Structure 1
Amino acid sequence: MKKVLIPFLLILLIYSCGAQQESSNSVSQNTENSFISRPKLVVGIVVDQMRYDYLTRFEAKFGKGGFKRMINEGFNCKNNHFNYIPTYTGPGHASVYTGTVPKYHGIISNNWYDKVVQKSVYCAQDDNVESVGTESRAGKMSPHRMLTTSVADENRLFTQMRGKTIGIAIKDRGAILPAGHTANAAYWFYGKDEGVWITSTFYRNDLPKWVKDFNDSDTVESYIKVWDTHLPIETYQESGPDLNNFEGGFKGKENATFPYDLAALKSENGGFDILKATAYGNSLTVDFAIAALKGEALGQDDDTDVLAVSFSSTDYVGHNFGVNSKEVEDTYIRLDRDLERLFNYLDEHVGEDEYTVFLTADHGAVDVPAYLQSVKIPAGYLDYNDRKERFQKFLVEKYGTADIVENVSNNQLFFNKQKLKELGLNIHDVEQALVDEQISYPNIAKVYTATAMNSTNFTTGIEALLQNGFNQKRSGDVIVVDDIAHIAYSKTGSTHGSGLNYDTHVPLLFFGKGIKHGQTYKKTVIPDIAPTISALLGISFPNGATGQPLGFVID
């Protein structure tokens, strides 16, 4: 028995040692595979008011180094959507970088009614800071109303504040909200009679030398010139006729048609603000972004930096001229060349394999309803004045006063809770009565109560989008949804804000270090972006993130 047992024990010992060696090799191999080679720089790009179909509509006019380079070398998420309402600039930028929805990050609109102070507030407004770079109030801004961290914040925390964050946009909110709470700086453009890039004391007490040098240069002034099409206008077959009834245009020019002499139009259109509503605003943004890359030495060490760039002019052009205009087409053709210019700079000064880029939008836009009507597609315009008069009459007849509703904004009704208490009214009864009244009005599709938003778990449809955009402390007591393609807007130009595909379906492209080449029709949502970048960098997700990392885009 002993003779048999001893060889058996020897076999077990040999097997055990081999298993331990294999386990050791496995751990070593896994450790090696889990090592994260981080990019030196993450460039986040948000294109304001970019519908997904702009990528495909204008594809033939794009060069090889901008949008097409991102698609051909990177990953294209073709079915990317916003998963909340409202689709506005402030909530859009916040959601991209926080990885969550307004329900949690708190930026429920660009402006909203504050129930505590009982007045409208702006998403980036901060009266506790001062302007830097201008004497105007345009710099009194900060991200203090955003309740969660951004991916840029988490990168700063992970690198012990060594990794830099710079936010840049024509619009203040487009620079401030992406950069987060810990940014080294956010810069935005102040036009009027100054034409300068500014910031606030939330970040720093003076402008750095590179910003002063940029403001002192003739770069801004150089764009006060003629805006004509980049390519021959007769080749712009992807948009409607240049002369039509669906575009706004500029004061001082009879028709909204190319070319536009910006020097001649400047004085009647807000001075340097005219640049915002032209393709040149995006070119100016790239000029300033390149200056920031140089001035801040971004991507020049082993601690990952973040450059958050938002192209605001696409939104101004879309609002003015509409999604089917020659002006929008030219703006995207020129933006494509500006992206190529930015990528070429990054290749040379950061390193072709040392940076990662993502590109998305903060919302899409609806076709001009007047145009849709002209081609027999259901669409229209809302008469809020008529709706207001009818509603106030109802309130007086039913409750003896219209004061039980203290504000109507962003398609939401806010109750005067004190007045309800004085009148002995049950808030739930009033909610339902107002729902029943509002749903009877023309061009109102759906109406919901705050009680429904707080007590029901919606998982699909418009209801789920409304719930994701509903912040219990900041949102209203009754929420109204208008008919499809019906807007409260001028009969020229486009707008946005709904939970419909024309507003929710936007591009999502990843490109650069750590990104696979490929494409998917799998549905992705805006809050997935920040967790994906966090996973790529091996850092914590933003603290309120509800999105999921898109593992299939990471190499």
Structure 2
Amino acid sequence: MKNIIAALFLTASLGNVTQTTAQQKNTNPKLVVGIVVDQMRYDYLTRFYHRYGDGGFKRLLKDGFSLENAHYNYIPTYTAVGHTSIYTGTTPSNHGIIGNHWYDKYAKKSIYCVDDAKQTTVGNSGKGGQKSPYRLVTTTITDQLHLAQNMQGKTIGIAIKDRSAILPAGHTANAAYWFDGGQRGEWISSSYYMKQLPTWAQKFNAAKKADAYLSTPWNTLYDINTYTESIEDDNNFEATFKGEDKPVFPHDIPKLRASNNNYSILKAIPAGNTFTTDFAKAAIIGERLGKSAHTDFLAISYSSTDYVGHQFGVASKETQDTYLRLDRDLESLLKFLDKHVGKGKYTVFLTADHAATQVPSYLQSVKIPGDYISIKKLRNYLDKSTKAQFGSAALIENISNFQVFLDHDELKKNSLKANEVAQFIADEAIRYRGIYKAVTAATLQKTTFTNGILNSLQNGYNQKFSGDVLLIPNPSTISYMKKGTTHGSGYSYDTHVPIIFYGNGIRKGRSKKKYEIIDISPTLANFLQIEFPNGTSGKVIDEVLKR
């Protein structure tokens, strides 16, 4: 009798598991859309809020779940690293993408994160498609979704920047597309993914939409006098396009395109984001995303915000106008998803790959500390120091991304110990103006920093790829020209970004708790009930999920 009862209980339990699994499949979204806005500070949500329409950022905030205190937890905060960390759920210490470019201490040369000479361009005869994600050493949430569905469903990455399309889409992507500017003006891909562009992509290129977007000047969306959240249009803190006398509206794009590498100027104006949205819509239709029995994933990155931010800075009217226009692009995309995938059938997250500092020269003008540091002068200083101490000015092989790489052959030649030389350089570097902290690789390998900026430095340190000494500049101290701005630090102006979840399976609300960018992928994995990316170090953000 006991055996019969046990058998009935087991049958009922298995039935419940089967029913739960079936319900899970039925409630999973048909499409997940990851949106990364390149160089978006969190305060762009609040600073321009009253100027946004109801269907873009406000729709996501009103009907989604916003994390108001979300940060990057590592250094360096660069584009490739940010996109990779979002989608792998871990930091450079694990996923291996330690910069956009970095010094390869084995090949003894600077390398680019997605360059792959084994691949060929798909879409034209140029070399812009010799790319792949092969330097990425962990899986992504997009990889895990493919694995969980026995390689069913589609994953596609789209961005003007190649690295922003390739790294989020992962190793198993069906496609990644990026924009080839210059004299071409086409969306391209790599032989890593396909042999030729699909018909829909060929038709999109043939339509020459890029020319349409470059046919009119860039003027403000609204009366420029109402852009009171930004500094004066004519100022000394912004860079100009080639051919301009002043960095002011209107920017005569039809006239300027010839002297600004033709189609490449599209990357640096808000129309580049609209152009990206157009291509994403074409991909949704052409690939029938959200129409199969499986969950598809579309990774979109808006790159033009970064180009505008670098050139004009955080406080510029150009940056404000770019976000007001992006708001319209988001509204257009969400309405398109409503129509072609269906309301309640898709899930979106929106975040940024990093933020940015105010232009240091502008900060100086309002009596706030900010400065510039010359890597060339720093290198000369350290070479002279090592010459005086060790008798050689050739002990440093490279300084880049605020990392010092020693020449280990030169060390052996002079019978010097790497750790001793590295510590000496760290001690000397801290004496240099603009350097706030200097830590050796040996220290990072032996010590665990549990909080603060040294914890961020440690999370960005990769024993296999990083340098022998890692430097942290003072706040708002950058290695850059004096007009425009950049990013890369572990300070809040570079780390504080939006994270908004929206759509299928997402609660409405907001949270002031501190979360990290690496929490996005494990949260999605838990929501989709799939395995985490294999290097995951983030946590599930339980409060955003309905189930």
The aligned residue for residue 389 of structure 1 is: 380
Q: Which of residues 448, 460, 463 is equivalent to 1:457?
A: 448
SS at match of 1:358: strand
The aligned residue for residue 398 of structure 1 is: 389
Shift of 1:386: 2.4
The aligned residue for residue 547 of structure 1 is: 538
Q: Deviations over 1:33-81 (max 9, x none)?
A: 6742210000000000000000000101111111111110010000000
Q: Which of residues 200, 225, 238 is equivalent to 1:247?
A: 238
SS at match of 1:187: strand
The aligned residue for residue 417 of structure 1 is: 408
- Aligned ranges for residues 194-213 of structure 1 at < 5 Å? 194-213=184-203
The aligned residue for residue 56 of structure 2 is: 66
The aligned residue for residue 87 of structure 1 is: 77
Q: Deviations over 1:323-361 (max 9, x none)?
A: 100000010000000001011010001001100000000
- Equivalent AA in structure 2 for residue 118 of structure 1: K
Which segments of 5 or more consecutive residues in structure 2 lack a partner in the other structure?
Answer: none
Does 1:281 find its partner at 2:272? Answer: yes
TM-score (normalised: structure 1): 0.95
Q: Deviations over 1:352-385 (max 9, x none)?
A: 1100000000000000011111110011111333
Shift of 1:231: 1.3
Does 1:504 find its partner at 2:495? Answer: yes
The aligned residue for residue 134 of structure 2 is: 144
Q: Which of residues 58, 80, 89 is equivalent to 1:99?
A: 89
Shift of 1:418: 2.1
Shift of 1:537: 0.9
Does 1:172 find its partner at 2:162? Answer: yes
SS at match of 2:438: strand
The aligned residue for residue 508 of structure 2 is: 517
- Equivalent AA in structure 2 for residue 65 of structure 1: G
Q: How many angstroms apart in 2 are the aligned matches of 1:281 and 1:61? A: 21
Decide whether aligned partners of structure 1 residues 24 and 202 sit closer, same or farther in structure 2, where only a CA change above 3 A counts: closer
The aligned residue for residue 221 of structure 1 is: 211
Q: How many angstroms apart in 2 are the aligned matches of 1:284 and 1:196? A: 11
- Equivalent AA in structure 2 for residue 79 of structure 1: N
The aligned residue for residue 145 of structure 2 is: 155
Shift of 1:252: 1.1
SS at match of 2:525: helix
Q: How many angstroms apart in 2 are the aligned matches of 1:162 and 1:18? A: 39
Shift of 1:31: 6.8
- Aligned ranges for residues 289-300 of structure 1 at < 5 Å? 289-300=280-291
- Equivalent AA in structure 2 for residue 135 of structure 1: S
Decide whether aligned partners of structure 1 residues 38 and 54 sit closer, same or farther in structure 2, where only a CA change above 3 A counts: same
Q: How many angstroms apart in 1 are the aligned matches of 2:485 and 2:5? A: 69
Equivalenced residues, count: 542
SS at match of 2:513: coil
Q: Which of residues 44, 68, 80 is equivalent to 1:78?
A: 68
Identity %: 51
Shift of 1:30: 7.6
Q: How many angstroms apart in 2 are the aligned matches of 1:363 and 1:184? A: 26
Does 1:348 find its partner at 2:370? Answer: no
The aligned residue for residue 422 of structure 2 is: 431
CA contact (8 A) 2:375 2:399 kept: no
- Runs of 4+ that moved beyond 4 A: 16-34
Larger radius of gyration: 1
Q: How many angstroms apart in 1 are the aligned matches of 2:131 and 2:9? A: 58
Shift of 1:549: 1.3
Q: How many angstroms apart in 1 are the aligned matches of 2:36 and 2:347? A: 14
- Equivalent AA in structure 2 for residue 71 of structure 1: L
Q: How many angstroms apart in 1 are the aligned matches of 2:141 and 2:222? A: 38
Q: How many angstroms apart in 2 are the aligned matches of 1:428 and 1:420? A: 10
Q: Deviations over 1:472-511 (max 9, x none)?
A: 0100000111011111111111100000000000000000
Q: Which of residues 355, 370, 373 is equivalent to 1:379?
A: 370
The aligned residue for residue 466 of structure 1 is: 457
Q: How many angstroms apart in 1 are the aligned matches of 2:482 and 2:430? A: 25
Farther-moved stretch of structure 1 (131-140 vs 443-452): 131-140
CA contact (8 A) 2:383 2:394 kept: no
SS at match of 1:142: coil
The aligned residue for residue 495 of structure 1 is: 486
- Equivalent AA in structure 2 for residue 331 of structure 1: T
Farther-moved stretch of structure 1 (77-86 vs 127-136): 127-136
Shift of 1:26: 8.5
SS at match of 2:128: helix
Does 1:535 find its partner at 2:526? Answer: yes
Q: How many angstroms apart in 2 are the aligned matches of 1:531 and 1:384? A: 38
- Equivalent AA in structure 2 for residue 539 of structure 1: I
- Equivalent AA in structure 1 for residue 110 of structure 2: S
Which segments of 5 or more consecutive residues in structure 1 lack a partner in the other structure?
Answer: 1-12
User: Please, what is the CA RMSD of the aligned residues?
Assistant: 1.9
Q: How many angstroms apart in 2 are the aligned matches of 1:433 and 1:470? A: 20
Q: Deviations over 1:213-260 (max 9, x none)?
A: 000003111101211111111111111111111111211111111111
TM-score (normalised: structure 2): 0.96
- Equivalent AA in structure 2 for residue 472 of structure 1: Q
The aligned residue for residue 43 of structure 1 is: 33
Q: How many angstroms apart in 2 are the aligned matches of 1:19 and 1:68? A: 54
Q: How many angstroms apart in 2 are the aligned matches of 1:81 and 1:333? A: 23
Decide whether aligned partners of structure 1 residues 18 and 520 sit closer, same or farther in structure 2, where only a CA change above 3 A counts: farther
SS at match of 1:309: strand
SS at match of 1:199: strand
- Equivalent AA in structure 2 for residue 419 of structure 1: E
The aligned residue for residue 10 of structure 1 is: none
The aligned residue for residue 314 of structure 2 is: 323
